[in-house]
Amino acid sequence: MNKLGKGQRDKLQQFIMITGASEKVALQVLKESDWHLEGAFDIFYTQPQLQAETDSNTDSNTNSRQLEELYNTYKDPDVDMILVDGISLLCNDLQVDPQDIVMLVVSWHMKAATMCEFSKEEFVEGLEPLGIDSLDKFREKIPFMRSELKDEQKFREVYNFAFDWAKEKGQKSLALDTAIGMWQLVFAEKQWPYVEHWCQFLPARHNKAISRDTWSQLLEFATAVDPSLSNYDAEGAWPYLIDEFVEYLKENGAIQKG
């Protein structure tokens, strides 16, 4: 690093902090991108072997006892789980809004079964591979977890995870108001231009719980169909609800040009 300029050293440190990459990997991708950070992120997240090398360098000596102590800091006094109050306190200590999408990514890493609940097993087994064994390390990993949403495959995994995570226990479908809230959260990150139209369309034309098929197919629609809907195939295998939504957009003159 001694031969690097100040600006390059700053970018190197920033890249390492956000991705968790080794200095060797960080230097490699920054040089490949001509020291453009966004280009370096693109290279890193589209080459699994670089991420695998990063994962192999994760500190294998994470102290699970310290992690359990961290869990106990936020555990409910009456139940062996972290519940709403504990998660609110954790978010406050992490300096993260509880409604921030990064908390969905945190839950995805933990494979949390239910929204607003972390078991000890989920907490420890989810955070240990990330090298987290203290609040400071947890806070340092937040930018990395947020950046994971830039990876198309990870975004898809987080999106699909959200369906089971957000639905009520014992239910096969997702309550409409919950689904709308989740769509507004995840598509704010994806920047799908029709998210608000979709969230207005559902209560007016559907007003029923959302099936897993509709949940997963909407991401396919938002990803595959361009904003002008020029490549939308009305004879395709879209759920009837999406076909109705396209008609709704046409009726309201909401389709974006070009």
Question: The tokens of 131 are what?
Answer: 């090298």
| Cα(72)–Cα(75) distance, integer angstroms | 5
Q: Is residue 258 part of a domain?
A: no
Residue 38 included in any domain: yes
Q: Rounded distance, CA 27 to CA 155, Å?
A: 26
Where in the sequence is the domain holding 207, given as residue range(s)?
Answer: 152-251
Residues 192 and 166 in one domain: yes
Q: Is there a domain that residue 257 lies in?
A: no
- Say if residue 145 is in the same domain as residue 212: no
**Average pLDDT, rounded, for the chain:** 89
Burial class (CB in 10 A: 0-12, 13-18, 19+), 83: middle
* Domain membership flag for residue 182: yes
The pLDDT value given to residue 258: 55
Give dist(CA 179, CA 177) in Å, integer. 5
pLDDT of residue 61: 44
Does some domain include residue 1?
Answer: no
104 domain-assigned: yes
What pTM, to 2 d.p., does this model score?
A: 0.75
3-state secondary structure of 234: coil
What are φ and ψ of residue 174, in 5° steps? -105, 125
Q: What is the pLDDT of residues 87-134, one digit of tens each?
A: 999 999 999 999 999 999 999 999 999 999 999 999 999 999 898 989
Q: What integer pLDDT is reported at residue 55 of this predicted model?
A: 60
Number of domains into which the chain is organized: 3
Beta-carbon contacts of 124 under 8 Å, excluding residues fewer than 6 positions away, are: 64, 67, 68, 71
CA distance 249 to 258: 15
Q: Would residue 174 count as lying in a domain?
A: yes
Q: What is the pLDDT of residue 57?
A: 55
Kindly state whether residue 236 falls inside one of the protein's structural domains: yes
